[in-house]
Amino acid sequence: MPHRLLKTTPTSNPAARISSISRHLLGSAQSPASPSFPSNISLPSIQNRSFSSSPSANMSSQPEHPTLLIPGPIEFDDAVLQSMSHYSESHVGPGFVATFGDALSMLRKLFQTTSPSSQPFVISGSGTLGWDLVAANLVEPGENVLVLSSGYFSDGFADCLKVYGANVDLLKAPVGTRPQLPEIEEALKSKKYKMVTVTHVDTSTGVLSELQKLSETVKSVSPDTLLIVDGVCSVASEEIDFDAWKLDGVVTASQKAIGCPAGLSISMFSGKAMDAFKARKSPPASYFASMKNWTPSMA
C-alpha cells in the first residue's frame, strides 16, 4: 500500500509539537544513513535533548527509538499508546459502544459539521480504503468523474475510480501546481459529472488545494455534482469546514495529523452524498466497503 512521505504535518501549537518530538529523540545521535556521509565520522553524544519552552515538560516513557519526521505515521503521545494498552472487550459491549459513540461525535467537531444528515464512518483499513468507499458507493459504472490532478495520490484516486467502472477525466496541471478554477469551470460545463475529486494535500508534490473557492465554483456551475476531498494528509492539520464549504465527502486516516496508529479509515459524507448512495440503481460494488453494511453501526 502506498505511503505519503513528503510533507510534514503542521499543528495548531508548534511549541507543543516540538516538545512532543523532542521527548522521543534518541539519547545519542547517529550518523546519517547517507553514502556521502563518511562512516568513520561519529557525532558527539547528546543527552536529554529538549526543545520545549516549558521547564516542566516530562520526558516520554517510551523506549528510545529513531524519531519519525514524516507525514505519517507520526510520533504518538504517551497517552495515545497508554490508551491502547487496554484489555480485550466485546465490540458490542456497552463500554465499547459508548466509546465508539463518543469517537463519532468528536469526529463531527473535527470536520466542523453539525448537520444531522452528515454521516461519519470509522472502518478498519488504510487511508486508501477511503477511495474504495467513494468509488464503490457513490459512483456507478459509466458515470463521469472529474479528478483534479496535483500529484501521485490524485492519480491513484483516479485509478481506483476506474477499477469500479467510472468514466474518469483527469484534469492535470504542471508539477508543483494545481488545476485552476477557470479550467475546472470549463470542464464542468463540457459534460455532466457525477463527482469531482480533489486531493487537499498531495505529498508527492507538496501542493495544497484551495477547497472553499473550488466548492463555490462546483456548486455554481454544476450544483448536482458531488465534491469529494482526499484529506488523508490534511485533516486535523489544514482548515476543513465541512458545512460552511458545502463539501460532500472527506476521506482520511488515523496515522497522520489525527495522531493515532495506522489502521483506521475515517470519513465524513454529506446528506447529499448519502442520498446519492441510496439512489443507486445497482448494489455497491464492494462488500467490505459497502455503506449499506456499515451505516447501521455508525449512527
Give the pLDDT score at 57. 56
State the helix-helix crossing angle for 129-137 and 152-163, rounded to 10 degrees: 40
Cα dihedral value 173, 177, 179, 182, nearest 10:
-120
Among 52-61, 180-189, 239-248, 269-278, which is the least confidently predicted range?
52-61
Whether 176 has a pLDDT exceeding 60, the answer reads yes
Give the pLDDT score at 149. 97
**Burial readout 86-111 (b: 16 or more C-beta within 10 A, e: otherwise):** eeeeeeeeeeeeeeeeeebeebbebb
Task: Report yes or no: 106 and 236 within 8 Å, Cβ to Cβ.
Answer: no
Give the pLDDT score at 71. 86
- 54-82 pLDDT, tens digit each: 444 567 889 999 999 988 899 999 999 99
Dist CA 62 CA 84 (whole Å): 14
Q: What is the pTM of this model?
A: 0.80
* Residue 160 per-residue DSSP state: H
What fold, for 94-298? Answer: Aspartate Aminotransferase; domain 2 (3.40.640)
Average pLDDT, stretch 196-215?
97
Task: Report yes or no: 201 and 7 within 8 Å, Cβ to Cβ.
Answer: yes
- 113-168 pLDDT, tens digit each: 999 999 999 999 999 999 999 999 999 999 999 999 999 999 999 999 999 999 99
List of E strands, the chain: 119-124, 144-148, 167-171, 195-199, 201-202, 207-208, 226-230, 249-253, 264-269
Residues 6+ apart with CB under 8 A from 298: 104, 119, 120, 121, 122
Whether 23 has a pLDDT exceeding 60, the answer reads no
Residues linked to residue 201 through DSSP beta bridges, in sequence order: 208
Average pLDDT value over all residues in the chain: 86
Whether 219 has a pLDDT exceeding 80, the answer reads yes
- 258-268 pLDDT, tens digit each: 999 999 999 99
Phi/psi for 277 (5° steps) reads -65, -45
Cα dihedral value 158, 126, 251, 18, nearest 10:
-120
Task: Report yes or no: 268 and 113 within 8 Å, Cβ to Cβ.
Answer: yes
Q: Which 3 state secondary structure label does DSSP give 296?
A: helix
Residue 79's Cβ-count burial label (10 Å; 0-12, 13-18, 19+) is: exposed
What are the domain boundaries of the chain? 94-298
Task: Name the grid cell of 258.
Answer: 489525527
